[in-house]
Amino acid sequence: MSARRKIMGVIPARLGSTRLPGKVLREIAGKPMVYWVYHHSRRSPLLDELVVATEDEEVRSYCESQGIPVTLTGRHPSPTDRVHEVMTRTDADIYANIQGDEPMLRPAHFQLLLSPFFEGDVQVTTLKVAMDAVAAQEPGNVKVVTDYAGRALYFSRYPIPYDRDAQGGIQHYKHMGIYAYTRAALAEFHSWPQSSLELAEKLDQLRFLQNGIPIMVAETPYDTIGVDTEADLQQVSALFSAGHFE
């Protein structure tokens, strides 16, 4: 795999979350969440390198104490901009942006995320998973709609597509917080100002779409719980404590 293109995983991790302050160091089954994100991500054989990127000395100190590769960055408006800073210091061809609040990732997720780069001319990839109509109503679950080829048409906190006539049978898809980009796509992203759609939805991937960069979206059967709230944390902690993840 390394003879093809070098892939680097970057875990943006900061303490300043508004809904769950300090969440990357909150404990799940006796270990901080960032430990689990790193531990599960490094199981993927597709990642040549893996590093935590943080603006917080406390996170850096923890990672160093555990032998987790970590780099200190400046402050950034989005996780993707933080990954870009890591890109400017490193030499990979493809960068995987692994959100620091996704402790339930597994190698199958990375296979789906990264295999398109081996198969064709792809600039950005991400994942989706089927969700029910009730979950689609939650603004915390980001929805995605795609064209027939799997390219993203739009991401929203609103339950898209909207079933205007209430016919039922609409399949909604949740967007998962993991991406991969080529160097060129990541450089372009950083060169653009925040877009109007990105600012409205608070979803930085919309900056790519509004500037005409296609995002390929692969479907996974494996859902995760992105930890955004105390309730999310408790739910994930219960799953880990029950032995569903190691």
| In-domain check, residue 31 | yes
| In-domain check, residue 119 | yes
Stated as kind and residue range, the H or E segment containing 162 is none
Burial track 39-53 (b if 16+ CB lie within 10 A, e otherwise): bbbeebebbebbbbb
| In-domain check, residue 243 | no
Write out the residue range of the structural domain in which residue 60 sits: 7-236
pLDDT at residue 4 is higher than 80: no
Interatomic CA distance for residues 192 and 175, integer angstroms:
23
pLDDT at 3: 54
Work out how many domains the chain is built from and give that number.
1
The average pLDDT across 5-24 equals 92
Interatomic CA distance for residues 112 and 123, integer angstroms:
15
Res. 77 pLDDT band, cuts 50 70 90: confident
Q: pLDDT exceeding 90 applies to what percent of the chain?
A: 86
| In-domain check, residue 220 | yes
The average pLDDT across 178-202 equals 96
| In-domain check, residue 38 | yes
Interatomic CA distance for residues 54 and 52, integer angstroms:
6
Res. 34 pLDDT band, cuts 50 70 90: very high
Q: What is the pTM of this model?
A: 0.93
Residue 47 maps to which CATH number?
3.90.550.10
Residue 136: CB partners within 8 Å, gap ≥ 6?
143, 159, 172, 174
| In-domain check, residue 191 | yes
| In-domain check, residue 159 | yes
Residue 34, Cβ density class (10 Å: 0-12 exposed, 13-18 middle, ≥19 buried): buried
Residue 199: CB partners within 8 Å, gap ≥ 6?
none
| In-domain check, residue 122 | yes
The average pLDDT across 16-40 equals 93
Query: Over the stretch 160-175, which tens digit does the pLDDT of each residue have?
Result: 998 888 787 899 999 9
pLDDT at residue 2 is higher than 50: no
CB of 98 closer than 8 Å to CB of 110 = no
